[in-house]
């Protein structure tokens, strides 16, 4: 599989979050050595009554448990939306090699120059690639929030 296929899989999983009225964000982690998918998650903030149950955090926890390791060296994470600062810090702490994300998040995204977590040189810095399947990833979020506003306006 290539990065587009992995992002499509993360996006497909993000759609499962809609069943629970969760913000549709999906994440998966892949072992770069054998292309094995180590985890596949979507947001579960509402389901688990937790502000930290973002797709990235859940994917990292699952992959660490699967490997019985706190580090995820030689892995890539694919996320449908640019990670927030909390998730970016977790990606760094887990030593994930590469971050691929779909849609940019101009409000809470932490990889832009203004909020760049990695300006401090003492943090592990993954390779970062944004805009993978950006239109598809952005559309599901736009539709979700448009529908939510319509529902709340009633």
Tokens (6 digits) for 27:
């994440």
With b for 16 or more beta-carbon neighbours within 10 A and e for fewer, the 106-129 pattern comes to: eeebbbeeeeebbeeeeeeebebe
Which residues carry out catalysis?
Answer: 56
Q: 49: which residues sit within 8 A by CB, 6+ positions away?
A: none
Distance CA 80, CA 27 (A): 7
- Helix locations, the chain, DSSP H: 3-14, 55-67, 85-93, 134-153
H or E element: which one contains 27?
A: strand 26-31
């Amino acid at each position: 599989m290539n990065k587009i296929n992995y992002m499509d899989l993360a996006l497909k999983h993000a759609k499962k979050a809609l069943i629970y009225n969760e913000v549709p964000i999906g994440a998966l982690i892949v072992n770069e050595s054998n292309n094995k998918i180590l985890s596949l998650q979507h947001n579960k903030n509402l389901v688990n009554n937790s502000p930290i149950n973002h797709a990235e955090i859940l994917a990292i926890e699952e992959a660490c448990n699967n490997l019985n390791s706190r580090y995820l060296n030689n892995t890539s994470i694919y996320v449908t939306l640019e990670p927030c600062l909390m998730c970016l810090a977790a990606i760094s702490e887990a030593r994930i090699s590469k971050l691929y994300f779909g849609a940019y998040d101009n409000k809470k995204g932490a990889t832009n120059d203004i909020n760049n977590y990695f300006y401090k040189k003492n943090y592990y810095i993954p390779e970062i690639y944004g805009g993978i399947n950006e239109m598809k990833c952005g559309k599901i979020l736009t539709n979700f929030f448009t529908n939510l506003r319509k529902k709340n306006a009633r």
